[in-house]
Amino acid sequence: MQAIEWDGEVIRFRKNAFVRYMVDIIGLNDLVALSSDSFPREDYEQLMQLIGYSVSAFGSLSETSEETRDLADAAAEKLR
C-alpha cells in the first residue's frame, strides 16, 4: 500500500514522480485499456496508487479489490 497524504483538500496516494512522468507520456487511458487483459489486478491497483489517485476515487475503480479499498479507506480515516 502506497502512503497517503493530504493534497489540498483531497486525500491522495503519494505519487511516484517517475511513474507519473511515464504515465503522462504513454497516457493513462492506454495503460488502463491494457490492464485488465495483460496485467494482474494487483499491478493495476499499485499503478493507480503510484500516480497519486485520490483515495475516494480509488475505491470506485472496477479493478480495485474490496480488501485494498478497505485498507485505503482505513488509512485515510486515520489521516482525517
How do residues 4-47 score in pLDDT, each as one tens digit? 999 999 999 999 999 999 999 999 888 777 766 678 889 889 99
CA pair distance 80, 55, nearest whole angstrom? 12
pLDDT band at residue 80 under the 50/70/90 scheme? confident
Partners of 4 in the beta sheet?
13
The helix/strand/coil state of 7 is strand
Q: What does the chain come to in residues?
A: 80
**Structural domain boundaries of the chain?**
4-79
Average pLDDT rounded to a whole number, residues 52-59: 95
The helix/strand/coil state of 15 is coil
Read off the C-alpha cell for 52.
Answer: 497519486
> In this model, does residue 63 exceed pLDDT 70?
yes
